[in-house]
């Protein structure tokens, strides 16, 4: 068990501030465990809507929930979507109770919650383990296995790979249908596997559609499903006000590198380091860790058709910061870095690498060791 104090603090603040808090994230990422830890010492009532007895308890939800006080936790709320309307009525009637709802973050869940509970709900996203939680010295294990708790904490590489293989199968055959999405598991598995080879690349729906013999609209819908369930990140491009022609399609990343490696058939670090997609895997891993550490409101990439690019652009207190990812222990300054820094007016640029040392490369450009990513918020605070 790894403690997750950052998210416990977020839950404490959010439940004191908002009558409904939605803790969203993929299956098996630890939402239920976190809610149980958070509820210790509190007057809390749990409902697990995958449990038939609990669903029966809520056969008359307004009557049952309306009689409760304290913290009310409803797990897998997407199983009973009519509860959103019930919660709206109860929240408007009384502020005595606080509701913590957990669910796999499908677009349907977000839309229903936003529309029905507008102004009453606060969202918290729970991803897999981060470097700050596992300890930065375990970055190799986190990169290879990914951040799902049972994968990362498995007793061997073989057991970790076995868990991830089972997760992919269960996600396709049970979890997707439970969200009301009717797509053959084999078709989605093929799409997901093909998408793993596009990890870190600009999205090209027509190319993928041709390769699969499907329409562009269909492959886009598949991508949106995987994005809505936190399996895939669509990193949007930033359009700077410059005269250069800029890339306008999103870049695609599988958010958990352990799942990426499973779909690529890479069981351990040795297999990963010998694979042609190792650089792309490293880029996706670093991007996710930076986003977990900094948690910016907005994040983008930037690229021009002339070849200049920046892997990650984010904003903190109105200042622009950039991240470039290099799979080299001794990264060098490039022309592209200078162009990005000048064209985007970056306050600072970090070049993240797998080496042990962090050191200045030039004014406003720092080579940042992977082990120092958890310290990025403190480094950014110096500039604000």
Q: What's the average model confidence in pLDDT over 233-241?
A: 87
Rg of the Cα atoms in the chain: 22
Look at residue 118 and tell me whether its pLDDT is greater than 80: no
Q: What is the pLDDT of residue 103?
A: 86
47-85, pLDDT tens digit by residue? 999 899 999 999 999 999 999 999 999 998 878 888 888
Instruction: For residue 93, name the pLDDT band (cuts at 50, 70, 90).
Output: confident
Instruction: For residue 305, name the pLDDT band (cuts at 50, 70, 90).
Output: confident
List all residues 6 or more positions away from 196 whose beta carbon is below 8 Å from its beta carbon: 254, 260, 263, 264, 277
Q: What is the pLDDT of residue 113?
A: 67
Task: Name the more confident of 78 and 325.
Answer: 325
How many whole angstroms separate alpha carbon 350 and alpha carbon 365? 6
Q: What is the pLDDT of residue 237?
A: 94
Q: Which of 267, 263, 307 is nearest to 284 (CA)?
A: 263
Q: What's the average model confidence in pLDDT over 117-136?
A: 92
Instruction: For residue 106, name the pLDDT band (cuts at 50, 70, 90).
Output: low
Q: Quick one: what percent of the chain has pLDDT higher than 70?
A: 96
Q: Quick one: what percent of the chain has pLDDT higher than 90?
A: 78
Phi-psi region of 265 (alpha: psi -120 to 50; beta: other; left: phi over 0): left
Q: What is the pLDDT of residue 311?
A: 97
How many whole angstroms separate alpha carbon 88 and alpha carbon 92? 6
Task: Name the more confident of 177 and 226.
Answer: 226
Q: Which domains does the chain have, with CATH numbers?
A: 5-125 (3.40.50.300), 131-383 (no CATH)
pTM (two decimals): 0.93
């Amino acid at each position: 068990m790894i403690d997750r104090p950052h998210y416990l603090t977020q839950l404490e603040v959010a439940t004191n501030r908002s009558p409904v808090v939605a803790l969203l994230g993929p299956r098996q990422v630890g939402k239920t465990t976190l809610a149980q830890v958070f509820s210790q010492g509190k007057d809390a009532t749990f409902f697990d809507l995958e449990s038939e007895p609990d669903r029966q308890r809520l056969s008359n939800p307004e009557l049952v929930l309306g009689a409760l006080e304290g913290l009310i936790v409803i797990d897998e709320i997407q199983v009973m979507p009519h509860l959103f309307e019930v919660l709206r009525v109860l929240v408007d009637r009384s502020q005595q109770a606080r509701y913590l709802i957990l669910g796999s973050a499908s677009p349907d869940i977000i839309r229903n919650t936003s529309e029905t509970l507008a102004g009453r709900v606060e969202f918290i996203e729970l991803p897999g383990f981060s470097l700050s939680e596992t300890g930065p010295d375990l970055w190799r294990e986190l990169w290879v296995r990914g951040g799902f708790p049972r994968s990362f904490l498995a007793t061997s590489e073989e057991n970790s790979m076995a868990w991830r293989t089972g997760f992919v199968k269960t996600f396709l055959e049970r979890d997707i249908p439970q969200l009301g999405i009717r797509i053959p598991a084999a078709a989605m598995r093929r799409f997901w596997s093909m998408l793993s080879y596009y990890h870190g690349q600009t999205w090209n729906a027509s190319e993928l559609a041709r390769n699969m013999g499907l329409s562009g609209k269909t492959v886009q819908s598949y991508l949106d499903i995987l994005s809505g369930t936190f399996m895939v990140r669509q990193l949007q491009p930033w359009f700077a006000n410059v005269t250069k022609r800029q890339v306008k399609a999103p870049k695609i990343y599988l958010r958990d590198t352990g799942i990426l490696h499973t779909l690529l058939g890479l069981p351990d670090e040795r297999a990963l380091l010998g694979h042609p997609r190792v650089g792309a895997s490293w880029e996706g891993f670093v991007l996710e860790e930076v986003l977990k550490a900094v948690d910016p409101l907005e994040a983008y990439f930037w690229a021009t058709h002339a070849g200049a690019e920046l892997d990650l652009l984010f904003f903190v207190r109105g200042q622009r910061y950039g991240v470039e990812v290099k799979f080299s222990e001794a990264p060098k300054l490039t022309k592209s870095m200078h162009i990005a820094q000048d064209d985007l007016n970056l306050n600072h640029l970090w070049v993240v690498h797998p080496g042990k040392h962090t050191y200045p490369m030039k004014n406003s450009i720092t080579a940042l060791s992977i082990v120092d990513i958890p310290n990025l918020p403190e480094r950014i605070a110096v500039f604000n």
